Amino acid sequence: MLRWFTAVVALAYSTSPARPYFDTGNSLYEFCQNPRTYAICLGTIIGHYDMLLANGYDCGPDNHRTKQQIMDIVVKYLKDNPAERSDVAALATYKAMIAAFACKKLP
């Protein structure tokens, strides 16, 4: 019984603290570098982009943009700004889209 209790206590203290978000720029960048997790990278970034639009931002005409292009822009942003990778991943997508497409909040 003591061994079990000791193991549970050790496990509780060894876990990382909870974060208010799921993915950081670091984890997103890692997903995007691995062909096995490419779909996670793409889906996460497109989800961020869709939420940006759903929250009232206009990023110009989307009819010529591809999902791959949007992903490439975010991955390049993460590559070029490693100091910001510890922030929430959605923030990196937001900053990359603002810079690339001059997205603006609609009134």
* Matching CATH number, 22-105, of 1.10.890.40, 3.40.50.150, 1.10.10.10, 3.40.50.12140: 1.10.890.40
Stretch among 19-28, 31-40, 42-51, 96-105 having the lowest mean pLDDT:
19-28
Residue 13 pLDDT > 80: no
pLDDT (0 to 100) of residue 11: 39
66 vs 45: CA distance, rounded Å: 12
Q: Following CA atoms 47, 73, 59, 89 in sequence, which dihedral angle do they give, to the nearest 10 degrees?
A: 40
Alpha carbons 72 and 101: distance in angstroms, whole number:
13
Contact between residue 74 and residue 33 where contact means Cβ atoms under 8 Å apart: no
Beta-bridge mates of residue 105: 57
Among left, alpha and beta (phi > 0; psi -120 to 50; other), residue 58 is beta
Question: With the CA atoms of 50, 52, 55 and 60 taken in that order, what torsion angle do they form, in degrees rounded to the nearest 10?
Answer: -90
Tokens for 46?
């497109």
Higher pLDDT, 56 or 3: 56
What confidence category does residue 8 fall into, taking pLDDT thresholds of 50, 70 and 90? very low
Q: What pLDDT does residue 63 have?
A: 80
Query: Each residue of 30-72: pLDDT tens digit?
Result: 999 999 999 999 999 999 999 999 999 999 988 889 999 999 9
What SS3 class is residue 90?
A: helix
Average pLDDT, the chain: 85
Q: What is the DSSP letter of 57?
A: E
Instruction: Indicate if the pLDDT at residue 7 is higher than 60.
Output: no
